[in-house]
């Protein structure tokens, strides 16, 4: 009696930079998703997922959450009660008394 061994594909982890480079290559004129995927030992369906995420601007590395960089600066007493959050190309300023629920809604709307 012989036992058949299933060959398992090795799971590879790609950094966000590697994913972006492969996606950019797949968007080049004349490139096919299948050919680019084979060149980089990636399943074409995974490359298609990365392309969709890149088009939506939601490409992330794995399932790790993205965090915003936070910098706390000393503020003058005259501007007490102001929260300022710098996003990529925008800034969110909230003045007055701020509770957590309201701040979550403001940040969700800023996305």
pLDDT at res. 61: 46
pLDDT at res. 74: 65
Distance CA 31, CA 39 (A): 11
pLDDT at res. 63: 52
Query: Residues, the chain, total?
Result: 111
Distance CA 27, CA 15 (A): 19
Q: What is the pTM of this model?
A: 0.45
Helix (H) or strand (E) holding 50: helix 44-56
pLDDT at res. 55: 81
- Encode the chain (111 residues) as per-residue pLDDT tens digits: 556 666 666 777 888 889 989 999 998 888 899 999 999 999 999 999 988 888 877 665 455 555 667 777 665 544 457 777 777 777 777 777 777 777 777 777 776
The domain spans of the chain are 16-56, 77-110
CA dihedral 34, 17, 56, 40 (to 10 degrees): 10
Which residues are 95's β-sheet partners?
Answer: 82
Question: CA of 101: how far to CAs of 46, 69, 97, in Å?
Answer: 36, 20, 12
Distance, C-alpha 43 to centroid of its chain: 20
pLDDT at res. 9: 64
């Amino acid at each position: 009696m012989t036992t058949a061994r299933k060959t398992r594909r090795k799971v590879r982890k790609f950094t966000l930079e590697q994913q972006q480079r492969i996606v950019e290559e797949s968007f080049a004129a004349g490139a096919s998703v299948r050919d680019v995927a084979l060149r980089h030992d990636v399943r074409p369906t995974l490359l298609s997922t990365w392309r969709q995420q890149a088009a939506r601007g939601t490409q992330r590395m794995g399932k790790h959450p993205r965090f915003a960089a936070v910098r706390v600066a000393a503020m003058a007493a005259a501007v007490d009660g102001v929260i300022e959050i710098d996003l990529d190309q925008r800034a969110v300023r909230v003045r007055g008394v701020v509770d957590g629920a309201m701040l979550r809604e403001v940040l969700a709307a800023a996305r």
